[in-house]
């Protein structure tokens, strides 16, 4: 269980029409400071989540 995960709710809250297309500056402006920092903190290990291969621009 990944207790440090941000979860989907903060991203769903800022999505428009069921889609989220934001750069880091947009995410920083729209997410709470706590959620943004949690997201930044997990980025170095994002590619190792589960069995999938993740991509982050």
Q: Where in the chain are the domains? A: 9-48
pTM of the model: 0.73
Answer for the pair 30, 22: CB distance below 8 angstroms, yes or no: yes
Tens of pLDDT, residue by residue over 1-54, are 667 778 899 999 999 998 999 999 999 999 999 999 999 988 877 665 555 555
Geometric angle at alpha carbon 50, from 7 and 42, rounded to 5°: 50
């Amino acid at each position: 269980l990944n207790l440090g995960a941000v979860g989907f709710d903060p991203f769903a809250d800022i999505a428009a029409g069921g889609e989220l297309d934001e750069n880091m500056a947009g995410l920083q402006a729209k997410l709470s400071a706590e959620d943004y920092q949690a997201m930044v903190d997990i980025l170095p290990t994002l590619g190792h989540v589960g069995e999938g291969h993740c991509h982050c621009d």
